[in-house]
Structure 1
Amino acid sequence: MTLNERTGPSNRHTENIGLHGYSIRFSPFNPNHLVVATSQFFGLAGGGTLFLLESNSEDKLQELKSFQWTDGLFDVVWSESDPTIVVTASGDCCLQIWNLTGNQAPNILKEHTKEVYSVDWARTRCDQFVISASWDCTVKLWDPNRKTSLNTFSGHDQLVYNAMWSPHIPNCFASVSGDGTMKLWNSLNSHYPSASYKVHDAEVLSCDWCKYDQNIIATAGSDGLIRGWDLRNLSQPFFQLIGCEYAVRRIQFSPHNLSTIASVSYDFTTRIWDFSKNSGPIETIKHHSEFVYGLDWNVLKRGQIGDCGWDSLVHVFTPSSLLHI
């Protein structure tokens, strides 16, 4: 699907004007629904658009709804408790909580002092909190039903690109930053990290937790490397994946297989890896003509992934390497 060539009403002020994909997320409730966060003019100026899309049996995409914001949207995540709610992060220091069933303005959470680049919703049953990572070098903890944050976590020396909740350990999240470190946090006990590790000699742009082993986490950097870490021994990575020509923008472990990872990169590729087999990709997909920014696995459809990029394209597909896994 091309974001700049959409069907439907055209009375919105950013219609057909330079929309570039930043983040894509499949619904955890409906296997055919997904949201895409976009920005005008590569996120450098203009507004943002949030799309609610539906994929059919042939993975063709149809726009169901779209929502406008006055600044670029850099990330989006679904609520883990309500199938009608998503949260976006934007360039004007805000989070927006959207109700996809209506046309009302979103609830706005604003405490960060610079761009908010990452947002994640806790997936453990005991809590339903949101974390946001910002270029102001902090991570904030939010209750979506409150206007003010519950906590602010300081410790990174440079902008924070990504913060992700552990899917296994309650109140635990990781963050990665331009300072080359990954930090682990307990959201209940402290404003400061419980552990900090130098994981790349470069900016760290993304991290993700293994869905099958609570001790495994991966990081990706502007050095083009993906590294896997075992929290029981962080003296060196226990795997390293090599093959991306430029920075790795986002990584995600498969929800269906322990050792499978997907990545997207500034080299215009989406790659599939199996760290149990070798250090190179098992498949490289080249269907974008610009930086690929957004990536997600469909938890409800085995092997299906989605990606989006600065070329305004959104793809939903099952890589050939995953057809029989």
Structure 2
Amino acid sequence: MNTPAVLHTPGFSHYSLQWSPFYNTKLALASSANFGLVGNGRLHIVSLVPGPGGLPAIQLDKYFETQDGLYDVAWSEAHENHVVTASGDGSIRLWDIMLDNLAIAAWQEHTREVFSVDWSNIQKDTFVSSCWDGTVKVWKPDRPRSILTLQAHQSCTYQALFSPHQPDLISTCSTDGTIKIFDLRSPSYAVGPGMNSFTNPLSSAVLTVPASASEVLTVDWNKYRPLVLASGSVDRMVKVWDCRMVKMGDSQVGGACENSLAGHEYAVRKLQWSPHKADALATASYDMTCRVWSTAPMGPQPPLRYIHDAHTEFVVGCAWSLYEAGLLATCSWDSRLNIFRP
């Protein structure tokens, strides 16, 4: 399946996508009109289906309209039909894909664009969001407000992700060039009488990684190696960080870069480790390509294993299938979703 299956959604540029953890062929796609600069958004629910001649095709199952552009999407880990979205108007909405075009819950605490949402795959009733206002908030979908607020960075926090290994660890990345790891078990998060994190945001990271002299746009946890992260930044570099040599629990600056991957021609907008191979990493870039790398020592072989260059605009999202090893999806400002096998 090197020739991609393609879905075109005219008028809506894509920002993010995620495979369902319950349905092996279903994806959610967050999109915005006018490249996300102004106008409304759409949440697309799509499926990979058999097409003509037995070749795979992408079917649009349903879409939901929003008043502002959507920047990110995450499937619930607890309910097979629930999806949460991050919006440019600062709102977060929860959708049931079996219902009509109305969100079943909405939250409006962030003061600027919400740029990422991520559902914990361990503590399955919890998700996290990050915002251009620098804050990160932890949520439970049955609560009317967030349960925890972190002042993670002083400037835009592009992404916040729960660790797939430890439910109390959250990684973030920012315009300030750092990756931070927050441990929600840390004593610094104990809240005294009459205090709460909503009015007194917490800011104590257990580890700060000076990852780049430029903005770090994306980060991801390795699914097989705890405390190993990958980052992508405006300086076009992809880096792999080993944080295991730093004792967790003390506020420290550290993290060892064990691999630097050069090759993208413009900023790296999104990356994701494979859920099936510890050393396979996919990256999406403003150079209109998605690339697949091997981070294992390869001797004379180059780490770059594949370049997908079928898009005609910025590639801003990439995601490996959770069920089918080696199947990769990409989305772009060219209003196209591609699914292929590198």
The answer to whether the superposition gives a TM-score over 0.5 is: yes
Aligned residue number for residue 91 of structure 1:
88
SS at 1:60 equivalent: strand
Aligned residue number for residue 300 of structure 1:
323
**Pairs within 5 Å for 1:1-325:** 1-4=6-9, 16=10, 18-57=11-50, 58-106=55-103, 107-124=105-122, 126-189=123-186, 190=189, 191-192=202-203, 193-233=205-245, 234-276=254-296, 277=298, 280-319=303-342
Aligned residue number for residue 197 of structure 2:
none
Q: 1:279 to 1:133 in 2, by over 3 A?
A: farther
SS at 1:237 equivalent: strand
Whether the 8 Å CA contact 2:279–2:295 is kept in 1: the answer is: yes
CA distance in 1, matches of 2:8, 2:87: 18
SS at 2:293 equivalent: strand
Question: 1:32: how far off?
Answer: 1.0
SS at 2:8 equivalent: coil
Whether the 8 Å CA contact 1:52–1:64 is kept in 2: the answer is: yes
Aligned residue number for residue 8 of structure 1:
none
**Please, what TM-score do these two structures have when normalized by structure 1?**
0.91
Whether the 8 Å CA contact 2:313–2:332 is kept in 1: the answer is: yes
Structure 2 counterpart of 1:241, one-letter code: L
Question: 1:3: how far off?
Answer: 3.4
Identity over aligned pairs, percent: 36
Question: 1:181: how far off?
Answer: 0.5
Structure 2 counterpart of 1:161, one-letter code: Y
Question: 1:36: how far off?
Answer: 0.6
SS at 2:35 equivalent: helix
Question: 1:81: how far off?
Answer: 1.1
CA distance in 2, matches of 1:232, 1:45: 42
Structure 1 counterpart of 2:306, one-letter code: E
Deviations 1:23-55 (A, max 9, x none): 111111111111111000000011001111011
Structure 2 counterpart of 1:176, one-letter code: C
Structure 1 counterpart of 2:132, one-letter code: W
Structure 2 counterpart of 1:42, one-letter code: F
Question: 1:295: how far off?
Answer: 1.1
Question: 1:59: how far off?
Answer: 2.9
Question: 1:21: how far off?
Answer: 0.5
CA distance in 1, matches of 2:121, 2:223: 11
Q: Give the number of the structure whose alpha-carbon radius of gyration is greater.
A: 2
Whether the 8 Å CA contact 1:239–1:279 is kept in 2: the answer is: no
Question: 1:195: how far off?
Answer: 1.7
Aligned residue number for residue 249 of structure 2:
none
Structure 2 counterpart of 1:287, one-letter code: A
Deviations 1:38-75 (A, max 9, x none): 00000001100111101114331011110000000000
Whether the 8 Å CA contact 1:164–1:208 is kept in 2: the answer is: yes
The farther-off stretch of 234-243 and 82-91 is 234-243
Unaligned runs of 5+ in 2: 1-5, 190-201, 246-253
Question: 1:221: how far off?
Answer: 0.4
Structure 2 counterpart of 1:206, one-letter code: T
SS at 1:56 equivalent: strand
Question: 1:140: how far off?
Answer: 0.5
Deviations 1:134-172 (A, max 9, x none): 000110010111120011101412100011110001211
Unaligned runs of 5+ in 1: 5-15, 320-325
Question: 1:296: how far off?
Answer: 0.7
Structure 2 counterpart of 1:258, one-letter code: A
Question: 1:279: how far off?
Answer: 6.0
CA distance in 1, matches of 2:57, 2:266: 30
Whether the 8 Å CA contact 2:136–2:152 is kept in 1: the answer is: no
Deviations 1:70-112 (A, max 9, x none): 0000000100111100000000001110000011511111100
